[in-house]
Amino acid sequence: MAIVHYPTASLKPHKDEILQSGHLWIFSGALQQPPRWIEAGGLVDVKSAMGQFVARGYYNPNTDIAIRILTRDSEEAIDNAFLRSRIRRAAQLREVFDPRETTAYRLINSEGDGLPGLIVDRFADMLVMQIHTMGIERLRLQVVEALMQELGVRGILLRNDSQSRRREGLEVEEPVLVAGAVPEQVTILENGVSFLIDPWQGQKTGFFLDQRDKRAALRKYARDKRVLNCFSYTGGFSVYAAMMSDETSVTSVDVSESAMELAYQIFTLNGVDPERHEFLIADAFEYLEDAQQRGELFDVVVLDPPAFAKTQSAQSQALKAYRRLNLLGMQVLRPGGILLSCSCTGVVGLDDLLGILSQDAQRLNRSVQLLETYTHGVDHPINLAMPETSYLKAVFCRVN
Ligand code: SAH
């Protein structure tokens, strides 16, 4: 076997210990000696203060996280075989999905699948990929090649249009085809429900796959009920609810006109008459305030807002927004109604969310029963050594 030599970086004493736990980040402050003669994103071997090999990863001198680890095996070069084995391992986990029921899932979840900086979502026989770090950007061609070799999909679309790329010193790009062909609209199945996805223009990769299990869980509460879905996007929660019975009625609210148009089509696609439901292009906060003024009441309210904060410094602002939102949600919920409240930012934890719900209920002189707690689905595995990479929490409550 060819022996590959990578530039080395050495750690300060004891800074290798966290890596033994399986953590994949090395902050710049932990480096005794940064690697020399290396371009941003280049591969690097990490040595302990004693000079022993600890791990191999990629280096970015321009970010707080100086090195992200790819392997702790000194024999493992970062090559085609490495990428293919990581992809294979990730694909094996997703075999839990029965293709007759579910054809869309996150295939590679960055750190959670041992490939920091890489997100790949599978939509039927197409992939949509996002690159979040300089290191993966350098491996772009190899990653595409390995994905094609392992999965033989019809096409791969690269969505490098996330603003978060700037933090890594990366350009924000237009969506670009990197393999085969990807149409403007893809049809997928999720728990037997059909969805149309716009991989080119849709938000993020086109669909929020991390809500699959919560959408399924919502069904049992929705039969014959009046349901309000705020921040509905293309109607994920809405269509699951609407399919429960002809007596179920669903109001979907989102600011995105294109998402709402797609939601309408998705109802039809699933044999639900969209004319019996409401699709509103509106600010959810404004809608809720108006609904409350009118004295409208729902049996079930879903609140799945975008991340109100992405950084720790914005946390107090975010907490305020969640508090206001959940208060409004409870005000349009009839006594004994079900509230599904989600938060997709790592900055606000489960305890924060539960605290907010409890305080909001107190203000309204109502009591809350916690029924179910969720995080992401199985296709968003979290490396247990890195709980900080978990972001989604969702709780079902009954508000009396
Ligand atoms: N629940 C959705 C995903 C929601 S993502 C699903 O299951 O697919 C968040 C959504 O909030 C996006 O569709 C975005 O367009 C919308 N949004 C952002 N700010 C909003 C606001 N102030 N009012 C209403 N919708 C908003």
Amino acid 50 reads M
pLDDT at position 310? 75
Q: What are the angstrom distances between the C-alpha of 395 and each of 218, 349, 388?
A: 11, 12, 19
Q: What percentage of the chain carries pLDDT values higher than 70?
A: 99
Q: Give the residue ranges of the chain where pLDDT is below 50.
A: none
Best of 214, 231, 257, 289 to mutate for ligand 1, by most ligand atoms within 8 A of CB?
231
Q: Is 30 within 8 Å of 12 (Cβ atoms)?
A: yes
C-alpha count within 13 angstroms, C-beta hemisphere, residue 393: 17
pLDDT at 346: 86
* Per-residue pLDDT at 2: 53
pTM across the whole model: 0.96
pLDDT of the residue at 243:
98
Q: Between 350-363 and 315-331, two packed helices, what is the crossing angle to 10 degrees?
A: 50
Q: Provide the pLDDT for residue 314.
A: 84
- Which residue has its alpha carbon closest to ligand 1 atom 25? 254
Any idea which residues carry the catalytic annotation? Answer: 344
From the CA of 364, how far away is ligand 1's center (Å)?
26
Distance 261 CA to ligand 1 centre (A): 14
The set of protein residues with a Cβ atom below 6 angstroms from ligand 1 is: 203, 208, 211, 231-234, 236-237, 253-256, 259, 283-285, 304, 306
Task: Identify whether the C-beta of residue 101 lies closer than 8 Å to the C-beta of residue 189.
Answer: yes
Ligand 1 atom at shortest distance from the alpha carbon of 229: 1
Domains of the chain with bracketed CATH: 8-71 (2.30.130.10), 80-185 (3.30.750.80), 208-399 (3.40.50.150)
Q: 247 by DSSP, 3-state: which?
A: coil
pLDDT at 3: 63
The β-bridge partners of 158 are 129, 176
What pLDDT was estimated at residue 312? Answer: 75
Closest ligand 1 atom to Cα of 304 = 1
> What number does the ligand 1 atom closest to the CA of 236 have?
7
Ligand 1 pocket mutation, candidates 255, 257, 280, criterion most atoms within 8 A of CB? 255
